[in-house]
Amino acid sequence: MQRTIFEQDHEAHRETVREFLAREIEPNYEQWEADRLIDRSAWLAAGKSGIVGLAVPEEFGGSGVTDFRFRYVVAEEIARTATTSFGSGLALQDDIAIPYIANLGTHEQKQRWLPGMAAGELIGAIAMTEPGTGSDLQGIKTTAVRDGDDWVINGQKTFITNGIHSDVVIVVARTDPNAGSRGFSLLVVERGMPGFSRGRKLHKVGLAGQDTAELVFEDVRVPAANLLGAEGRGFVHLMENLPLERISIAVNAIAAAKAAYRWTRDYVFERKAFGKPIGDLQNTRFALAEMLTEIEVTESHIDRCVLALNADELTALDASKGKWWASELQKRVVDRCVQLHGGYGYMMEYPIGRAYVDSRIQTIYGGTTEIMKEIIGRDIAAG
């Protein structure tokens, strides 16, 4: 079935992204994975090539292009090249940090942070998860207390994407302990603020080069001007951004599943066993047929979700459906592809090996599969 989501401008952008990855990322990626850190030069190169910050308004140094299909193209090309650690940090910047500031920030805040983020000079992060809280955001214990013209932040965060490199961190803190879900606010902490420090750079199962870290806030004084959005509306602001965040994960998931399938399809017709390509064995053909069908059916749904996002019609409910289904599909497809590669599938020099370890987190972050099903189930029960 002919896929129709992309137009000529998107395919032209694909060529730009493909050339950028071949020039700046792929030659260095193996070393960055070994170092367990993507070099900041990658971010600067992405800024110069227009790969990052595309949606930043022109007056703040971006292109003002909010069509998510361009981000879809980037996700597909990163999946094709198995440079997922780079793509993960980029997705956090483009699909979470920048949209929060662009949508909630004052003119002064946008002027201060967005140009640097579009140029790859400033790297963003969002600090939600804490050592004792995961999906239960209402259990957040990090506090921010007003003191004159400042907020004083105390607390710890963990599993923070871009945690080591981050220059601009959107911190979810409790500003009113008696207000329940209305007691949270978003405050922007900047690199170098006294009392703000990085804990461990976490050693993950996959995404080795992507910097995930613990963050510590000890009496960090943040100017009142760094309040992002409305005081007490932090939880609402988080919910407002969920459709974009979750469909971003879904897009990366279906792109990764498709890439894994293509590597495997090519491999099984090159690899011989018992005197013929293993792709000629019925079991292999059936496995390929099943995976291709699931991928194409899911891809059609995710394409529709992206168009709904562009039209500002994508609901948190539909994003939850797309997120859990696509990420579980990715995990399932990649696992089967490793099996079809045999022993070579377990080797990290093969892209399928890297895809295997990188895929596992997809059903966990951005809301676990179980939380996604709970959201959908509650809507069904409500009738």
Q: Report the mean per-residue pLDDT for the chain.
A: 95
Lowest-pLDDT choice from 77-91, 135-149, 172-186? 135-149
pTM above 0.75, yes or no: yes
| pLDDT for residue 133 | 77
Q: What is the DSSP letter of 105?
A: -
Q: Which of 276, 239, 278 is CA-nearest to residue 138? A: 239
Per residue in 85-100, pLDDT (tens digit) is 999 999 999 999 999 9
- Span 144-171, mean pLDDT? 97
- Span 81-88, mean pLDDT? 97
The alpha carbon torsion through 198, 200, 203, 204 (nearest 10 deg) reads -50
Q: What is the DSSP letter of 367?
A: S
The alpha carbon torsion through 354, 355, 356, 362 (nearest 10 deg) reads 130
> In sequence order, what DSSP letters do the residues of 130-178 get, joined into one string?
BTTBSS-GGG---EEEEETTEEEEEEEEEEEETTTT-SEEEEEEES-TT
Question: Is 19 a catalytic site residue?
Answer: no
The owner of tokens 């050693």 is: 203
- Span 105-124, mean pLDDT? 98
Phi and psi (nearest 5°) for 300? -60, -40
pLDDT for 231 beyond 90: yes
SS3 of residue 333 by DSSP = helix
Per residue in 306-350, pLDDT (tens digit) is 999 999 999 999 999 999 999 999 999 999 999 999 999 999 999
Among the options 33, 76, 231, 245, which is catalytic?
245
pLDDT for 135 beyond 70: no
Separation between Cα atoms, residue 381 and residue 368, nearest integer Å: 20
pLDDT for 114 beyond 90: yes
| pLDDT for residue 297 | 98
pLDDT for 134 beyond 90: no
Tokens of 175: 């500003």
| pLDDT for residue 38 | 97
Cα 382–Cα 238–Cα 188 angle in degrees, nearest 5: 165
Task: Give the pLDDT band of residue 217 (cuts 50, 70, 90).
Answer: very high
Per residue in 23-75, pLDDT (tens digit) is 999 999 999 999 999 999 999 999 999 999 999 999 999 999 999 999 999 99
Q: Which residues partner with 152 through β-bridges?
A: 145, 221
Q: Which residues partner with 223 through β-bridges?
A: 150
| pLDDT for residue 275 | 84
Q: Are 248 and 195 in contact (CB under 8 A)?
A: no
Per residue in 276-289, pLDDT (tens digit) is 899 999 999 999 99
Query: Residue 330: in which H helix or E strand, if any?
Result: helix 316-341
pLDDT for 185 beyond 90: yes
* Percentage of the chain modeled with pLDDT above 70: 99
Q: What is the DSSP letter of 216?
A: E
SS3 of residue 126 by DSSP = strand
